[in-house]
Amino acid sequence: MEIYTGEISCSGIAIGRIAELSRHETLIRRTCAEDPAAETARYRAAKAESRTELEALKTKAAEETGKSGADLFKAHIMLLDEFDERVENLILTQNVSAEYAVSEAGSSMAAVFTAMDDNPYMQARASDIKDLADRVIRALNRGDNSGGEAIPAGAIFTEKIILAADDLAPSETVQIDKEGIAAFVTREGSTNSHTAILARTMNIPALCQTPLPKEAAGKLGIVDGTKGVLYVDPDEETLTKYREKMEGEEKKQQLLAELKGKETVTRSGRKVRLCANISGIDDIPSALESDAAGIGLFRSEFLYLENDTFPSEEEQFLAYRTAAEKMAGREVVIRTLDIGSDKQISGFGPDFGENPALGCRAIRFCLTYEDIFRTQLRALYRASHYGCIAILIPMIISKWEVARVKEICGEVKAELDAQGLPYQDVRTGIMIETPAAVLMADELAETADFFSIGTNDLTQYTLAADRRNQRISRFFDDHHPAVLKAIRMTVEAAHRHHIPVSICGDLATDTALTETFVRMGIDELSMSPSSILPMRKLIREME
């Protein structure tokens, strides 16, 4: 038996034969182009063909992995246009072939991302650039035996396999028959890669940075995605142990399913609402399947981030109305536009500053560009007529901000009245994400219908530690006494003013703190849909 360790991209346990993904690598040599105009035309045709392929992959990803998977390919489609200037300039100024120009452009673009050593997420985008360049080159070489997809679309495996490769591109991952994949194992890649994101979306165990020799192909393997370990050619004792673990996990899932329809209440009678965090209406089926009490956080900014332009009032109205109708009376809390910091809209002009996390973000953006904010509020109020909607305002630190928001809401409602458009009065909540908001919690509670604590930003601002900077990750301690004290102060202030308080950040699913939060008096926890039933089980077993 051989044992290899790697980084966990997606947790879980899997057993299967190891299959090595082999690719036909194409060597791109620098060759002189006799007709640069013809090479440019070849490039544009290949790019159009690649766009068509990516559109098909986006559709397939939407069907199999939901909105988050489809968004990856939407980003790839937008990224294709970034090649144009570089490729065509190389062809025209250096008289090189389209293949060489695409290869060089891809290498230079990837190098920019690789150099971002303080941002692992952006570093991981280098592999996406390489995937795009390879796709365009394959389209240029269509008909050449050296090209072709690494894995045919819809490939079927006769048994569950552990797919091993140096790295996997998102396009390869989404094309594979998911029923035939037990796990993914890559020698390169990162937990921030889009392939890792897809693996988590598909709930397939995955490891990266695993030094697995290619000679392991054909041998039986066990992936322990809870410990980051791969066993190759396991002994009988290890095999039996992991088979029993997998059977236990299946029984656990069956037992969790029995909790649907039951209350989330401790043995002493303390009730807690468990709601779902979603990024769009495509995530609602998962929320309903998980028996969520409602939507605790609808991240509306994804309606903006997935488009080149701001979504219209009608586009937003349709999305919010659909969410309200699908939840059939269960409340949908929609956070108003929260861009800036790590979520910036491509092609939008405003300078978010040298440190966007401290700049024009969230409500600061909305109160700076009120026309954009009004459009969203009109859509939200109009959608409220079709279900139970609440509005959540992010990044509030002062009472004057709340007063201005309410003033704008009043003006929007007056406009709707004048136009004869129906709406309902909605609850309006405030996100508590900064020490300022915590210290002002009593005053802010007088102006709000509820609080929602965003623990990710609250930790970042309380500890003055950038949550995206891996170099200081050991200083980003969301269990820090100061963070827990801030949460407790917020809960106490909310309850003094008789309003409920929820947690919608990552700490909502941190089981090490669940009992602490329940004892504090947290009224609601909002989390990914897949975490709801396990959390219900945990809370029901508390005293």
Quote the CA–CA distance of 155 and 91 in Å, as a whole number.
36
Quote the CA–CA distance of 139 and 495 in Å, as a whole number.
62
Given the residues 360, 388, 409, 504, the one annotated as active site: 504
CA atoms within 13 A on the CB side of 364: 16
**Number of CB atoms found within 10 A of residue 495's CB:** 16
CA distance 222 to 372: 52
DSSP string, 43-64: HHHHHHHHHHHHHHHHHHHHHH
Residue 460, H or E segment = helix 455-463
Active site residue 388: no
Helical H segments across 327-396, by residue range: 363-368, 370-383
Query: Rounded CA gap, 60 and 173, in Å?
Result: 11
Q: Out of 10, 76, 194, 208, which one is annotated catalytic?
A: 194
Contact 225, 202 (CB under 8 A): no
Catalogue the E-assigned strands of 469-540: 501-503, 524-527
504 classed as catalytic = yes
Neighbours of 241 (CB within 10 A): 12
CA-to-CA distance for 163 and 10, rounded, in angstroms?
Answer: 14
Quick one: which of 19, 4, 29 has its CA closest to 228? 4
Q: Is residue 292 within 8 Å of residue 542, measured between CB atoms?
A: no
Q: Give the whole-angstrom CA distance, residue 381 versus residue 373.
A: 12
Q: Print burial letters for 281-299: b (CB count within 10 Å at least 16), e (below 16).
A: bbbbebbeebbbbbbbbbb
Residues making up the chain, counted from first to last: 543
Q: Beta 206-208 vs 7-10: how paired, if at all?
A: antiparallel
What residues act catalytically?
194, 504
